[in-house]
Amino acid sequence: MFLAGTIKYLERTRALYLASLDRFRDSMLKEPDPGPNFAKLMDGIASKKEANLPTMIILRGEHSDETPEPSTSVEHPGENSNTYSILDDVQVVHYAYHFFEIFKGLIVDLIFSFQERNESREFFHKLSAEDALRVIEVELNFIYEALYTKVQVVHSKFGYCTRFISFASVVASLSFFYFKVKKSGFDEVDVVITYALFWGAIALDTVAFFMLIFSDWTFAVLYDPKNGSKMLRKYIAATIGWFLIFKRPRCYEHKKHSYKLLTTPFLLRRWSGDVPGHNLIKYCLKGRPHNFHKVRDHVYRFTEKLIPGMI
């Protein structure tokens, strides 16, 4: 159990380190590429300086090409031959991860090239408003998980190994306590609490394992063109596409009001689906905000009646 706890704290510490702005910026900076003519250029400059000839290096900036007119097809970021008029759920995750890898530098104020800007503009010009918002939703979810969760630590070979060791150590501790430890000298309540803690730790690790398998990060990596042939990617897309259908937002009619509520099932949400707001005038007049979700609305009313002065 001490080993499992140590691994959990190391994962959290590592995740906080990777999410720090300095480390986040350093992870995005690549080694400078001088180009094939750099050595020849430096030799020419050195020889001119030795001959006391005036030398000057002029840097030319990038030139922005005209943005092409929007069309009705969507160009795949990695394959110029495939076009799509409507994005399916697997493609939404793939494109969101592609642009997340590019534009996560906005968090640390990196400057992007005209090619990256034009690629993004051209891509979103070709999408419908609904598909564009779906891609942005998943992209923001990638950014949130990279900054505030342990996803970057877990989704690695080292993370897979530590998770397996942590789970195995908990199971070994439970087995040792069940078969080897004589429990006659302990109070029954203490034994029950110990079993509850063991099974609780196993349940949490099991839930985390399924969340790891069915996360958008796993789907994006499996569908990456670099990780297999087209036939393999089609098989992967057919396998994971059915699960992503459940994550798709749906519109529900609100019973008390004449509008629709766009939401997803609670356990499959990529985000809370809640944008908080505060009305100072209503608060001063003892007004109470109305929640659209039934469960939260009932809990709020119960809490309001129980502790009226604290809400």
Is 46 part of any domain? no
d(CA 77, CA 121): 12
Token pair belonging to 208:
């985390």
Is 299 part of any domain? yes
* pLDDT band for position 70 (cuts 50, 70, 90): very low
d(CA 262, CA 274): 11
Give me the pLDDT at residue 202, please: 94
Is 263 part of any domain? yes
Is 284 part of any domain? yes
* pLDDT band for position 35 (cuts 50, 70, 90): low
Is 61 part of any domain? no
Radius of gyration of the chain (CA): 27
Query: Per the confidence metrics, is the pTM higher than 0.75?
Result: no
Number of folded domains that form the chain: 1
Contacts of 143 (CB under 8 A, 6+ apart): 100, 104, 107
Give me the pLDDT at residue 38, please: 66
| Cα Dmax for the chain | 94
Give me the pLDDT at residue 296, please: 56
Is 279 part of any domain? yes
Amino acid at 279: N
- H or E element that contains 75: strand 74-75
Range of the domain at 254: 250-310
**Dihedral class, residue 148 (left if φ above 0, else alpha if ψ from -120 to 50, else beta):** alpha
Going by the DSSP 8-state scheme, the letter that residue 51 receives in this structure is T
Is 291 part of any domain? yes
* pLDDT band for position 281 (cuts 50, 70, 90): confident
Token pair belonging to 231:
């036939």
C-beta pairs of 188-192 under 8 Å, 24+ apart in sequence: none
Helix (H, G, I), strand (E, B) or coil at 166: helix
Token pair belonging to 159:
């993370």
Dihedral angle at the C-alpha atoms of 226, 232, 234, 240, nearest 10 degrees?
-90
78 pLDDT exceeds 50?
A: no
Is 270 part of any domain? yes
58 pLDDT exceeds 60?
A: yes
pLDDT in tens, 217-262: 888 887 777 766 677 777 777 777 778 888 877 777 767 667 777 6
d(CA 300, CA 31): 53
Average of pLDDT values for 46-64? 68
d(CA 90, CA 302): 41
